[in-house]
Structure 1
């Protein structure tokens, strides 16, 4: 049976030309190398290495074994290197999920930066928006959840990413722009345009309408932020979006935003969190992402302070 030690011995003989030099390379005695060659000769019932030549040469069988060694040994070395990187947490996979449709605006640039530092880590996103994402995180369906509603679950930790304000979004000609104070009763007469998720996961529903036991006159949904903005801009309804989203469109004069002071004097304030399994945080590549997330959080907090 051909063993890796046989292939390594043949490579050493080819590279160094003599049995003595090959033995030194392999940290073996010349007799041990000679014994390995005899094993090969017996295995194939023919001479594999022509030892009487200087430097040694190889029979057709020996040459075929060298070709095999050239093919297999580099693959084994690569595999060993990869395994060591895995064991030291330098490679792996992070699957992301988010309860926030608009989080990709800031998350994608962050992931692009992370790829430069950890090019061997596979980054992916869970398909769709799940109704029970925290439980699925706990079960290992994905590895990191962006959420504004942390839930205490065994083995799950949350780190704050940043605070934000959910702002009321109106068309530039909306009558409510003239109101000194916008009341919830005023909003109840409107069509609320939002993402197609459970109402309890929408800031304006969970923190304004539901506690007041009041519902909007109509609710219209769309998957795309750009379409949502377009519907609001054309007077089809109102919306509530995080400040980092609406700022871009407000600067373009497409829409206007107002503080939801009917929720609180400081408006509808929320904190975005990253949830993950406790067992993952010590992996080098995962710890690296959490550190980058923390750095991003500090920079953003400093910028908006």
Structure 2
């Protein structure tokens, strides 16, 4: 059987055309080098070197074998380097699940950081609901999720990475659009466009809970799954909506946003979720970088990020 060390020894002799210098180059003594060459010739069943004269030289078969040996050693070295980079988390692939609302503000910063810190890693982004992300984590279809709490899946850890208040979205001609801020009580009797109780369970719970806590009853409720669709209906003056503040980055000509007087009363949270037994070195490296990012973000009031 031909071994990697035999090929390295052979190529060292080819490069130096001298056994002593080749041994010095490999940081070994000459006898083991000679034994490796002899074992290689025995495995090949032909001579690699012509040792008849004062100086050694390659046989015709040895010269042909040297060309192939360089390719084999080169590919082996490259494979080792690639494997080490993957094992260290510097190369490989990372699949991230994210909710639609997280893509408005947080996801771009999230991805930008990973691109800067891990340029050789292939990123795959998959828009999914929070429930779908938990299923995907359990089945190891994604490595990291940007989801909504709570995370109750066994074997899945999570940390809050982003908090933002709810704001009111209204049409420009709506009566509440002229106020610098709006109280929740001002929504009494309004038509509310909001998230459905199943597909948008997290925001549905936040908003209905806030209205109930403030004892506010709306005239009617229309359920729409996606934030941009909600804003489109608001722009058509079909109702008002409570949405996360990051939705302000979605521009509709006829929609304006107003802060709530009770902005402190409720915050929408985004959590980073991952499996305890990820098994992906890239995921572990990404989580380390992201932890550093979140720690720094807590010191920037504009991000409202945190680890609480």
TM over 0.5: yes
In structure 2, the CA distance between the partners of 1:236 and 1:27, relative to structure 1 (3 Å rule), is same
1:17 alignment counterpart: 17
Deviation, structure 1 residue 40: 3.7
Structure 1 unaligned spans of 5+ = none
1:146 alignment counterpart: 146
Deviation, structure 1 residue 292: 2.0
SS in 2 for 1:84: helix
In structure 2, the CA distance between the partners of 1:79 and 1:224, relative to structure 1 (3 Å rule), is farther
In structure 2, the CA distance between the partners of 1:130 and 1:268, relative to structure 1 (3 Å rule), is closer
1:207 alignment counterpart: 209
The question of 1:232 aligning with 2:234 is answered: yes
Which of 205, 218, 222 lines up with 1:219 in the alignment?
222
The question of 1:274 aligning with 2:275 is answered: no
The question of 1:120 aligning with 2:120 is answered: yes
CA contact (8 A) 1:90 1:120 kept: yes
In structure 2, the CA distance between the partners of 1:268 and 1:253, relative to structure 1 (3 Å rule), is farther
1:155 alignment counterpart: 155
CA contact (8 A) 2:94 2:143 kept: yes
SS in 1 for 2:85: helix
1:294 alignment counterpart: 295
Please list the CA deviations of residues 207-234 of structure 1 after superposition, one character each: whole Å capped at 9, or x if unmatched.
3468879787353646573x55444223
Deviation, structure 1 residue 165: 0.9
Structure 2 unaligned spans of 5+ = none
1:77 alignment counterpart: 77
> Structure 1 residues 206-215 or 72-81, which shifts more?
206-215
TM-score (ref. length: structure 1): 0.77
Please list the CA deviations of residues 12-51 of structure 1 after superposition, one character each: whole Å capped at 9, or x if unmatched.
0121121121122234443333333333444444322123
SS in 1 for 2:122: strand
TM-score (ref. length: structure 2): 0.77
CA contact (8 A) 2:200 2:225 kept: no
Aligned residues, how many?
A: 297
